[in-house]
Structure 1
């Protein structure tokens, strides 16, 4: 992980502080939610450029790994997220929605970095990326309806339309871009090298604009970072233990268990934030929870990565042919 990667939590926090200051002294404080949405859609455009959706079938090359990852990500995790929301935020539907949206979206980028840092099976982790992306988009409205339902001011038709717009536009743009510049090797080399930096840039811009327009909400909820710390710490601890137990129970090599750990631990906060801004523009606490999430998540994942690296290399690197 390069310097920008290691400093992502600091950069996000700096963007938030800059946004609050600009919101007080410039007209940016009156920026509409669509301004945040534009930057997030640009982020998603860069993200979709890096994902080859044609490789979804590759997820099934290792049936046991794919089955374990999908069961944890899309069956166990939503229930755990719902329980944490009910236990810690029984009186705040908005924070429960934000927490749920954060925790039911598996990461599509940073988890590969942490897998590599821990000497895990990167190729195996990459194989499930397209399937994770498709399922989290399809299942997001289902989770909101099942676990939140009438508890929020949410209309199913509007939710689906807003999600379709914020996701379909960058997806369509990425497909057009790939078709137009698919043979330009220099462009793709540059995107491969700087893609994560571009995603971070657009995320920071979105955070700055959001905090500029919602600075009052943050000032009214200064303890929210601390309030989210304990449930998120419980989430990562439980998921780490569950993935370790399942991986060992299925007889996975250590490299594969590390990959399973990060495939199920890391979360896709930019995607969730883009959906939240589009579908809940009048509920700033939801977006605030999704911005605060990575400030806690990334340092925790860094500590877990160091621990898994030590465990994974304790008796020498383990190998796997990636077959069932």
Structure 2
């Protein structure tokens, strides 16, 4: 019975979603080859920047996030903010366990490579506010919960990123008798990143729903309008991946052994964070949609911020910047795989619960 449910879940996914690993793999390869073989492409793409991020990537992220945030039912957000288990669990996983786990893995796997180690710690401090909306939606997570947790991460990112960077790169290594590193970043720089990459699509999504429902009603908005803009999110994701890897193609392909060393702790991090968060959400009694939302918001990272901070502090050719670049190289395929793991777990969850929790509509 469970096996039937698993196939039924996959069969209901649109073709674009069902073959997402293929499209993402093709996008990554296309970007890497383009960046490697087309002279001057990376320089041209990076010529105009938005808060330290290439303009094409910034546009891709905004296009990617808007359709999903337009799907959120903002009149239901109070049901999320009132769920103390979810809110507290998210804060602990994102701002206590996540950075601590990345710090530990960076030192375990890269004790002899301080630049890469520092870059990974920066990745661990940058909690996800962008691509997680795609993974959560594909895995049938709670859209309203995702919107609230992303906003919560954004607030804490502005407040805590620089403080935690100082703690994990200077204070804690000093306590443990390990080499120390400085991190030069400001709350204002991080706030600009949040306002651009979360604020713009969030406001656009909210206004679209509000004005669309006022003009045509909720039934029209959700049955006619949303299906038309839905695929745009995945187009934006694929565009972003192509541009990202085109910009960093030479750095990645010219240092394969370094990439492999950096990849190992990242693989461990994403797997452990997602699986641990999923098990924890289930253990404290969250529904499947909120459990999977908790898992993806805890496991994902804001690679745009991590790369921007690493480049601004240590330079574009630094090992720290390379570690930030390798982050999405590992994160994207791993979290796509975990979307499919989530859907299998959802089928089993439903099979063991005759009255399953509501999922996305």
Query: Same fold by TM-score, threshold 0.5 exceeded?
Result: yes
The alpha-carbon deviation at position 81 of structure 1 amounts to 0.8
**Shift in CA distance, 224/42, structure 1 to aligned 2, threshold 3 Å:** same
Tell me the equivalent position of 1:246.
280
- Which of 148, 154, 157 is 2:183 aligned to? 154
Q: Which segment is superposed worse, 270-279 or 234-243?
A: 270-279
Maintained 8 Å contact 1:269/1:293:
no
Give the gaps of 5 or more residues in structure 1: none
Q: Within 5 Å, give how 1:1-324 maps onto structure 2.
A: 2-3=16-17, 5-6=20-21, 7-22=23-38, 26-28=39-41, 30=43, 34-35=47-48, 37-46=54-63, 49=66, 51=69, 59-104=80-125, 105-106=127-128, 108-116=132-140, 120-149=141-170, 151-152=180-181, 154-156=183-185, 159-160=186-187, 162-168=189-195, 183=211, 191-211=229-249, 215=250, 217-277=251-311, 280-282=314-316, 283=318, 284-316=321-353, 318-320=355-357
Corresponding residue SS for 1:128: helix
Q: 1:153-180: per-residue Cα shift (whole Å, max 9, x none)? A: 6324xx5454455554566766897899
Maintained 8 Å contact 1:114/1:301:
no
Tell me the equivalent position of 2:173.
none
TM-score (normalised: structure 2): 0.68
Tell me the equivalent position of 2:3.
none
Q: Which has the higher contact order (CA 8 A, sep 6+)?
A: 1
Partners in 1 of 2:354 and 2:123 — Cα distance? 33
The alpha-carbon deviation at position 272 of structure 1 amounts to 3.6
**Shift in CA distance, 68/172, structure 1 to aligned 2, threshold 3 Å:** closer
The alpha-carbon deviation at position 70 of structure 1 amounts to 1.8
Partners in 2 of 1:122 and 1:247 — Cα distance? 16
The alpha-carbon deviation at position 318 of structure 1 amounts to 4.9
Q: How many residues align?
A: 310
TM-score (normalised: structure 1): 0.74
The alpha-carbon deviation at position 231 of structure 1 amounts to 2.0
Corresponding residue SS for 1:141: helix
Maintained 8 Å contact 1:9/1:294:
no
Maintained 8 Å contact 1:114/1:262:
no
Corresponding residue SS for 2:301: coil
Partners in 2 of 1:317 and 1:266 — Cα distance? 31
**Shift in CA distance, 13/101, structure 1 to aligned 2, threshold 3 Å:** farther
